A = this chain, B = another copy of it.
Amino acid sequence: MYYIGIDVGGTNIKAGLVDEEGTVLCRAQTPTLAQRPGEEIGADIGRLAKAVAEDSGVPHSEIHSVGIGMPGACSDETGCVLYTANINFSRFPLREAVQKEIRLPVHLGNDANCAALGEYYMLPEKTENLVFITLGTGVGGGLIIGGKLYTGFNGIAGEVGHIMLRHGGEACGCGRRGCWEAYASVTALIRQTRAFAEAHPESAVAKSCGENFEHLSGKTAFALARQGDTDAAKIVETWIGYVADGIVDMINIFQPRLLLIGGAISREGDMLLQPLRQIVEAEMYKSRVPQTEIRIAALGNDAGLIGAAFLGKQS
């Protein structure tokens, strides 16, 4: 069978037809135009699904389902989007809107959850349990337990970015203080880099950011640290410490066989992974049992699309 995956972002909606092995055979995309009425976005999602189905030449009878990954919370039970951060989709019956355009089963999931599912199905080895963390604008996650995506009784489980690491610490977008996300997201790394640059305007870090911080990104400190700048190395080290704090929590709670780290920053590879593993090893709950393996996620940008497609495999 074949599966259609849709990855809905704040900027673009991406669609792909995926085979059983997770190969994306055919792609299409359209701008989200996030402030449009939900009906219009829903119709575009449906039309994109139809387009990849038709362009692929795969017979309709061999397409199993459409899966949609959303930046927000969905109920796959009711087929409704519950809320999204930046798209006009609160309490919206998305399944119904999509099925006006294409007659196939439609499944909905959170985007980080879909990425977790994509990584899970594409693993080279077999495992029952997996924790997936994505470091980006926020800190998101997806939990695979017993081979299934775990979403809690209300569909919104896995908000791992909103565990508290520092009582009374930085304000988080969720309303709480001291959340993991407020320290370990790429947004937080950028803020931390900028704060250093502002305090040390003559530093290489500051110069690297540009006069109006126009060159500042999550890569700034990593790139300079690679060149041997000790200030940048310290910024990176501190940030990796924040990432590690939450990962130790995840391991103490879940003891998964595998913990995968995704998001664009994970391309920093061993420069992120090696110090992270050292801290986790020192801080995790000790016992003489096999330990979680921490790896960089494998699929990059396609994880969400492939995982969305495979939502249909879960039901």
**Dominant secondary structure at the A interface:** loop
Closest B-chain residue to A128, C-beta based?
Answer: B153
> Is A261 positioned at the interface, with any CB of B under 8 Å from its CB?
no
Contact A289 B82 (CB under 8 A): yes
Q: Give which listed residue, B91, B127, B160, B162, contacts A153 with CB less than 8 A.
A: B127
> Is A150 positioned at the interface, with any CB of B under 8 Å from its CB?
yes
Scan A124-163; emit 1 where CB is below 8 A from any B CB, else 0.
Answer: 0001110000000000000101101011111111111011
Contacts of A256 in B (CB 8 A): 152-153
7 cross-chain CB contacts under 8 A: A82-B288, A83-B288, A127-B153, A145-B145, A155-B289, A159-B285, A174-B285
Contact B175 A255 (CB under 8 A): no
Closest B-chain residue to A152, C-beta based?
Answer: B255
> Which chain A residues numbered 177 to 211 have a C-beta less than 8 Å away from chain B?
none
When all copies of this chain in the complex are counted, the total is 2
Contact A156 B82 (CB under 8 A): no
Contact A257 B153 (CB under 8 A): yes
- A292 to B152 alpha-carbon distance, docked (Å): 10
Contact B291 A154 (CB under 8 A): yes
> Which chain A residues numbered 62 to 82 have a C-beta less than 8 Å away from chain B?
73, 75, 82
With A153-B290, A285-B156 in contact, is A176–B248 under 8 Å at CB? yes
Contact A174 B286 (CB under 8 A): yes
Closest B-chain residue to A166, C-beta based?
Answer: B167
Contacts of A163 in B (CB 8 A): 163, 249, 252-253
> Is A245 positioned at the interface, with any CB of B under 8 Å from its CB?
yes
Contact A162 B285 (CB under 8 A): yes
